[in-house]
């Protein structure tokens, strides 16, 4: 009985081998032999990506004041052309050259002008105040490129302290994006547009923001 069972297994095994060989080798009409092979599948494991650090917090989208929001948007992308379109002027009385004081920010009267005549000007400031007359747009553009050329990040907007800034109703304070110096840059504004530009004379945004009334909360800290 056992011998018959072993013999039956041998017959079945031989039949399977014959069938497999026939399946693996065949001939088409041109007499070309083909064979089917099993392909090895290689699975590659990609290394786990390191998650990017979270972005720094950004400012609120708007302050609710159109002129301020327009200036913020232009400064953050370094769009000097847009800033030039937003430039407006304040009227200040001109003074005689002999009356100019240290840190003077008033325009000097020109020939044909009398002391007290109102002059359209654009305010500029570093550690000293100054003005650029309306009829000199190239100098105004240069001032914007010097003081507000980006990329800068909005820090906060505040009501103007006249004794500090001398022009406009509002100031928008900016600072360099990560990797740059953390010194403040300032746009002076009124409801019509940008009326001046300045640096903080070496101050940080936090220092400039001290004791000022914010239009919006301070959204970031200097990196």
Q: What is the pLDDT of residue 30?
A: 41
155 has pLDDT over 50? yes
Looking at 11-20, 86-95, 133-142, which range is the least confident one?
Answer: 11-20
pLDDT digits (tens, 9 = 90+) for 169-192: 899 999 876 655 578 899 999 999
pLDDT confidence tier of residue 111, bands split at 50, 70 and 90: very high
Structural contact between residues 198 and 132, judged by C-beta atoms closer than 8 angstroms: no
pLDDT confidence tier of residue 210, bands split at 50, 70 and 90: confident
pLDDT confidence tier of residue 160, bands split at 50, 70 and 90: confident
Report the candidate in 158, 165, 163 with the shortest Cα–Cα distance to residue 123: 165
What sections of 25-50 are H helices per DSSP? none
Q: What is the pLDDT of residue 118?
A: 95
Q: What is the pLDDT of residue 103?
A: 63
19 has pLDDT over 50? no
**Alpha-carbon span 20 to 191, nearest angstrom:** 89
CA 131 centroid distance within chain: 29
Ordered by where they begin, the domains of the chain are: 66-89+121-209 (3.10.450.50)
At 54, phi and psi to the nearest 5?
Answer: -65, 145
| Residue 209 burial by Cβ neighbours in a 10 Å radius (0-12, 13-18, 19+) | buried
Mean pLDDT of 3-16: 37
Report the candidate in 170, 176, 193 with the shortest Cα–Cα distance to residue 82: 193
**How do 194-199 and 26-27 pair as beta strands?**
unpaired
pLDDT digits (tens, 9 = 90+) for 51-99: 443 344 454 447 889 999 999 999 998 999 999 999 999 998 999 988 8
């Amino acid at each position: 009985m056992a011998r018959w069972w072993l013999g039956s297994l041998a017959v079945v095994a031989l039949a399977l081998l014959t069938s497999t060989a026939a399946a693996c080798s065949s001939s088409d009409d041109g007499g070309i032999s083909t064979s089917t092979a099993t392909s090895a599948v290689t699975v590659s494991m990609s290394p786990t990506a390191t998650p990017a650090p979270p972005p720094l917090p950004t400012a609120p989208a708007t302050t609710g004041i159109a002129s301020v929001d327009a200036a913020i948007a232009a400064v953050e992308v370094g769009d000097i052309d847009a800033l030039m379109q937003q430039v407006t002027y304040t009227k200040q009385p001109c003074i005689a050259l002999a009356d100019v004081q240290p840190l003077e920010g008033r325009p000097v009267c020109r020939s044909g002008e009398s002391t007290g005549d109102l002059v359209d000007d654009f305010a500029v400031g570093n550690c000293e105040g100054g003005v650029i007359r309306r009829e000199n747009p190239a100098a105004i553009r240069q001032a914007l490129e010097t003081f507000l050329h980006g990329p800068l990040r909005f820090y906060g907007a505040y009501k103007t302290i006249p004794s500090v800034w001398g022009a406009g109703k509002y100031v928008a304070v900016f600072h360099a994006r990560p990797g740059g110096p953390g010194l403040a840059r300032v746009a002076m504004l009124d409801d019509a547009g940008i009326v001046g530009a300045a640096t903080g004379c070496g101050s940080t945004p936090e220092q400039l923001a001290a004791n000022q009334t914010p239009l919006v909360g301070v959204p970031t800290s200097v990196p």
